[in-house]
């Protein structure tokens, strides 16, 4: 697991960033198997089974493609396969990742209509509905919704976004970024009527970075027929057949696919509801701790706090990055940086993937001890509040 030493201290390394996350020993062992022929029958069977395991995880009966790329590659792939040059897309701004999704869209010649946000709350479904109602000519071809905004620790209600599309009687496709939500919180692809969901391997799926995923609806595949962008390497057709045959159009990352098979089996064995509940408890304990410290979370809306990551605002005059560097040196604990316009103002505690109450307690203790040693003014005892919740 992550018992190796990251800054030459003995003992457990606390990797508490919201991806890449800790990779379980069983997955590391699976990935350490010898190479095999990626066009042979043994690999084909294993790869097809791994892809089929993703369907219940996304809660879909449609294919879930495995794409050799990071999450950004899945943004690119889904746009390049299903949209066309000059298409308008509606993107509610919720933080750094929704903003980057807009950047990738512009690079691929889409026209982005952004619904401005404050980076402290989730998607306002009413504003989505209003924008779609105003689009009487039907020029908006897709809505891009980030389920869990990793930069701010804010989640959005995807069912409400779907309801907004329905209420406006608008035909746009619904794209959802599940990069840091999948497995950590309920995601229901078919139930919520999502057309394309994209994800990456390095977060809730407990794998190293390097694989991306795309779950597609029939409507998205219909839209693919008229797309005039060139997906090139990311062409969906052979990747969709690979979900059945296990045979890729190019050399796949064989070791990661060994790992994918193992990680998806572990997830299905633990059970999605049990995993969502585990994350909910870790999230609740983290927030109780931050609350006692007297610090603010970046998320300001009750009910929208992420169970995957908590972004904590540091007091005025403190540089969060200097504090994180100090804590890393002192305690071998990695916390994540604030991104974009909140860089230096927040640090983020990842609590997703292969985490349990004691790993979280270790991390929160490291933050509490580190803040004191760094000279931050706060109220001690947050870890006790977390413990109270975790021991219930
Ligand atoms: C919500 C979200 N979307 C997209 C991405 C981009 O994924 P990647 O860095 O794997 O390209 C990230 C990365 O952390 C993310 O958190």
Cβ of 19 closer than 6 Å to ligand 1, yes or no, is yes
Q: Which CATH class is domain 26-269?
A: alpha beta
Domains 14-18+271-390 and 26-269 belong to one CATH topology: no
Q: Which CATH class is domain 14-18+271-390?
A: alpha beta
pLDDT for 177 beyond 80: yes
**Cβ pair 311, 348 in contact under 8 A:** yes
7-51 pLDDT per residue, tens: 778 899 999 999 999 999 999 999 999 999 999 999 999 999 999
Cα 179 to ligand 1 centre (Å): 6
State how far the Cα of 207 lies from the Cα of 388, in Å rounded to an integer: 31
Give the global pTM: 0.98
Q: Bin 271: left if φ > 0, else alpha if -120 < ψ < 50, else beta.
A: left
Cβ of 234 closer than 6 Å to ligand 1, yes or no, is no
**Cβ pair 196, 217 in contact under 8 A:** yes
Instruction: List the structure tokens of 159.
Output: 């069912």
Cα 42 to ligand 1 centre (Å): 32
Q: Which residue(s) pair with 140 in the sheet?
A: 88
Average pLDDT estimate for 217-226: 98
Cα 127 to ligand 1 centre (Å): 24
Confidence category of residue 1, pLDDT binned at 50, 70, 90: very low
Tell me what the pLDDT averaged over the chain comes to.
Answer: 97
What letter does residue 234 receive in the DSSP assignment?
G
State how far the Cα of 209 lies from the Cα of 3, in Å rounded to an integer: 19
Cα 202 to ligand 1 centre (Å): 9
Average pLDDT estimate for 174-179: 99
pLDDT, residue 5, reads 58
**Cβ pair 348, 17 in contact under 8 A:** yes
Cβ of 72 closer than 6 Å to ligand 1, yes or no, is yes
pLDDT, residue 4, reads 59
Cβ of 179 closer than 6 Å to ligand 1, yes or no, is yes
State how far the Cα of 177 lies from the Cα of 223, in Å rounded to an integer: 19
Cβ of 311 closer than 6 Å to ligand 1, yes or no, is no
pLDDT for 173 beyond 80: yes
pLDDT for 326 beyond 70: yes
pLDDT, residue 311, reads 98
Half-sphere CA count of 320, side-chain side, radius 13 A: 21
In which element (H, E) is residue 177 found?
A: strand 173-177
Q: Return the domain boundaries, the chain.
A: 14-18+271-390, 26-269
């Amino acid at each position: 697991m992550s018992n190796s030493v990251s800054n030459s201290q003995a003992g457990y390394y606390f990797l508490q960033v919201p991806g890449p996350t800790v990779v379980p020993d069983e997955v590391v062992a699976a990935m350490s198997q010898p190479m095999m022929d990626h066009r042979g029958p043994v690999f084909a069977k294993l790869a097809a089974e791994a892809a089929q395991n993703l369907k219940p995880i996304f809660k879909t009966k449609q294919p879930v493609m495995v794409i050799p790329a990071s999450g950004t590659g899945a943004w690119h792939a889904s746009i390049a396969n299903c949209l066309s040059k000059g298409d308008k897309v509606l993107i509610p701004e919720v933080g750094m990742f929704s903003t980057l999704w807009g950047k990738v869209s512009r690079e691929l010649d889409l026209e982005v209509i952004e619904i401005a946000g404050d980076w402290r709350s989730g998607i306002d479904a009413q504003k989505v509905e209003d924008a779609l109602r105003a689009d009487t000519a039907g020029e908006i071809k897709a809505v891009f919704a980030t389920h869990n905004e990793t930069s701010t620790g804010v989640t959005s209600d995807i069912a409400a976004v779907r309801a907004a599309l329905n209420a406006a009687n608008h035909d746009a496709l619904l794209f959802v970024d599940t990069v840091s939500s999948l497995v950590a919180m309920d995601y229901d692809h078919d139930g919520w009527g999502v057309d394309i969901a994209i994800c990456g391997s390095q977060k809730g799926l407990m794998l190293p970075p390097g694989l991306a995923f795309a779950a597609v609806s029939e409507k998205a595949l219909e839209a693919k027929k008229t797309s005039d962008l060139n997906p090139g390497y990311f062409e969906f057709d052979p990747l969709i057949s690979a979900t059945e045959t296990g045979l890729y159009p190019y050399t796949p990352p064989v070791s990661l696919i060994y790992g994918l098979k193992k990680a998806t089996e572990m997830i299905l064995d633990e059970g999605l509801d049990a995993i969502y509940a585990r994350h909910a408890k870790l999230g609740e304990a983290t927030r109780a701790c931050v609350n006692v410290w007297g610090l603010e979370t970046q998320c300001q809306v009750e009910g929208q706090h992420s169970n995957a990551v908590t972004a904590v605002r540091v007091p005025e005059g403190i540089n969060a990055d200097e504090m994180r560097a100090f804590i890393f040196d002192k305690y071998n604990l990695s916390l994540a940086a604030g991104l974009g316009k909140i860089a230096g103002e927040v640090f983020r505690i990842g609590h997703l993937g292969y985490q349990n109450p004691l790993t979280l307690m270790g991390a929160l203790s490291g933050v509490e001890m580190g803040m004191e040693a760094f000279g931050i003014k706060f109220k001690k005892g947050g870890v006790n509040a977390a413990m109270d919740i975790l021991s219930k």
